[in-house]
Amino acid sequence: MIQKLIENMKKTNAPIVVGLDPMMGFVPEPIVKEAFAEYGETLEGAAEAIWQFNKAIVDETCDLIPAVKPQIAMYEQFGIPGLQAFKKTVDYCKEKGLVVIGDVKRGDIGSTSAAYAAAHLGNVQVGSQVLTPFGEDFATVNPYLGTDGIKPFLEVCQKEKKGLFILVKTSNPSSGEFQDRLVDGKPLYELVGEKVAEWAESCMGEDYSYVGAVVGATYPEMGKVLRKVMPKSFILVPGYGAQGGKAADLVHYFNEDGLGAIVNSSRGIIAAYKQEKYAKFGAEHFAQASRQAVIDMIEDINHALQNR
Amino acid sequence: MIQKLIENMKKTNAPIVVGLDPMMGFVPEPIVKEAFAEYGETLEGAAEAIWQFNKAIVDETCDLIPAVKPQIAMYEQFGIPGLQAFKKTVDYCKEKGLVVIGDVKRGDIGSTSAAYAAAHLGNVQVGSQVLTPFGEDFATVNPYLGTDGIKPFLEVCQKEKKGLFILVKTSNPSSGEFQDRLVDGKPLYELVGEKVAEWAESCMGEDYSYVGAVVGATYPEMGKVLRKVMPKSFILVPGYGAQGGKAADLVHYFNEDGLGAIVNSSRGIIAAYKQEKYAKFGAEHFAQASRQAVIDMIEDINHALQNR
């Protein structure tokens, strides 16, 4: 799947991923009204609203972008119907040729991690049938439990050619509380980064590994260090835009080949119509506002990369 | 919910929780056959089989135990139907008066953690309706992202009187890879424990906090230290039995009042009929084998507590 991600990135010349993290407050009134008319003010109604919202944005942007990153929490909050909307979104984006990064931040031990890996990246055996539960292409994973929490994911990746982005340094203000603490003079995130590099070696594609890392855009100095610690890993970079990360700060997350990183924006794209800059589109043309925001983001990052 | 957990523990005199982590290999043939006859070899069929398996065990053990801990990964691997079986299990156990600990190990930042907290412990607003997505009583949470990943969970706990068990020291062999690393001379798990103690203060019940911790039975010396670091927190203890934790090792996880810890067993209970010790029950009486295993586990731990 890392090969497909690279191929899609080259085809679109877009080192970005759109975070499909729908909140009810982002969904324009007419879509909500229609969903409630059909399903009532229920979890089904909410799920229908966010699915229609997603679909419109995907239709309007899929020719420009290599990948999407649905954040499962935003669907899980609407219970079973919400997770059905997640699954529909995954399937639809795959049909459109997009790489789907399931932002699920799962992580457990042994057979439990194996179950999560099967759920999101693999298959499950039921009697004589082999079935696909959710079927994302990549999943984000939490490393706090160590190698035997990660290994079952690696095994599924090797078998299914799927990929991981392991949390190394997250974009939030208090990420340093544990991640920055010094262990033998080195911050914990660097230790985790070294492990990622080790795990990455066991799952190589052509030039890059199936095993990547998450490093927040909000910590560019650390991104620069981690780029070198994990040379074969793609870095998934959250925190651009809304959280404060700027394009000029992100150039060091990329390798010389212009690859090795992919920058996420969620509300900056999907709720673009709510920004002053894109207000002219109006709520009824929210998806076109998202398209324009995608174009602007690609230009912003490519411009920074050309001038580094 | 911590009050209800304590009440249930006093009523049953059982400091244990049954881990409802069903695997297809645990489910006796006739149940699988019947589920496949109705739904085919599908995700629905697998989900029906694990639900019927759970139901039989809950029916046979619910008068003896204070709580259950369904591990969501085991359901998530069967996709949407699996998660429906999870929800049915949660609802059924609550009807039976049991406290339900959702072993979900979620954790993210800001609005995303808020969505997970709503999904598992809280409610979600849909139009004019307030709806409950999954509705567990407690959830397990991963601390790697720091305070702003935990805070949205604390807010829901304060509002809804729900609880957390935050991963501090996990039971798996490689848990030490990051958790044991020394930071200013102190292992990371102790630092996390200190933060748990701080978070716990903000969510107090009567004698105990709504905020507890996970500390594996396989590291009794660390359990002894962590008991003192987090005096107001309940410790959820995985790793008894199958993973090697022994009752005598666990006494230091409890406070002098005989409370403060709750020991989990999953396959040791739900797949008891597969052990030589309980083989006499046979697969057809698997739930009675689970009942006997519960009785034996309670006696084992209470005996150790009386002799400490």
Per-residue pLDDT of chain A (308 residues; tens, 9 = 90+): 899 999 999 999 999 999 999 999 999 999 999 999 999 999 999 999 999 999 999 999 999 999 999 999 999 999 999 999 999 999 999 999 999 999 999 999 999 999 999 999 999 999 999 999 999 999 999 999 999 999 999 999 999 999 999 999 999 999 999 999 999 999 999 999 999 999 999 999 999 999 999 999 999 999 999 999 999 999 999 999 877 888 999 999 999 999 999 999 999 999 999 999 999 999 999 999 999 999 999 999 999 999 98
* Pick from B135, B148, B264, B242: nearest CA to B195: B148
Q: What angle do CA B98, A107, A192 make, to 5 degrees?
A: 145
Greatest pairwise CA separation for chain B in angstroms: 60
Question: In chain A, whose CA is at the least distance from the CA of B49?
Answer: A126
Residue of A21, A24, A105 to mutate, interface with B, max B Cβ within 10 Å: A105
Architecture of B2-24+63-71+96-300 per CATH? Alpha-Beta Barrel (3.20)
Q: What's B89-132 look like in SS3?
A: HHHHHHHCCCEEEEEEEECCCHHHHHHHHHHHCCCEEECCEEEC
State the pTM of this model.
0.98
Q: What pLDDT digit, counting tens, does each position of B106-157 carry?
A: 999 999 999 999 999 999 999 999 999 999 999 999 999 999 999 999 999 9
Q: Which residue of B has its CA nearest to A126?
A: B41
Is residue B105 annotated as part of the catalytic site, yes or no? yes
Q: Do A21 and B80 touch (CB under 8 A)?
A: no
Q: Which of A73, A67, A147, A66 is nearest to A104 (CA)?
A: A73
| Mutation to test the B interface, candidates A50, A112, A120, A167, most B Cβ within 10 Å | A112
User: Domain residue spans in chain A?
Assistant: 2-303
d(CA A64, CA B144): 34
pLDDT in tens, B34-92: 999 999 999 999 999 999 999 999 999 999 999 999 999 999 999 999 999 999 999 99
d(CA A34, CA B205): 44
pLDDT for position B243: 78
CB contact under 8 A, B181 and A174: no
C-alpha B293/C-alpha B51 separation (Å) is 20
Q: Tell me how far apart the alpha carbons of residues A262 and A242 are, in angstroms, rounded to a whole number.
A: 16
Could you report the per-residue pLDDT of B5-43, keeping only the tens digit for each?
A: 999 999 999 999 999 999 999 999 999 999 999 999 999
Annotated catalytic residue, options B105, B151, B224, B274:
B105
Residues of A in contact with B74 (CB under 8 A): 112, 115
Task: Give CA separation, B63 vs A47, B239, B262, in Å.
Answer: 38, 23, 17
Q: Please state, in angstroms and rounded to a whole number, the distance separating the CA atoms of residues A223 and B232.
A: 38
**b/e map of B259-274 (b: 16 or more CB within 10 Å)?**
bbbbbbbbbbbbbbbe
Q: What pLDDT does residue A161 have?
A: 96
d(CA A120, CA A137): 8
Closest CA to A103 of A247, A238, A12, A301: A238
Residue the block writes with tokens 């409950």: B132
Residue A304, helix vs strand vs coil? helix
pLDDT at B166: 98
CA distance B234 to B253: 9
Q: Please give the Cα distance from A166 to A178 (Å, whole number).
A: 16
Q: Is the pLDDT of residue B308 over 90?
A: no
Give the nearest partner residue to B148 out of A73, A174, A183, using CB atoms: A174
Q: Name which of B21, B115, B145 is nearest A77 (Cβ-Cβ).
A: B115
CA distance A92 to chain B (A): 16
**Contact across the interface for B116 and A84, Cβ inside 8 Å:** no
pLDDT at B242: 75
**Residues of chain A positioned with their CB less than 8 A from the CB of B133:** 43, 76-79, 82
Query: According to CATH, what is the number of the domain A2-303?
Result: 3.20.20.70
A56 alpha-carbon distance from chain centroid: 19
Output the pLDDT for position A244: 82
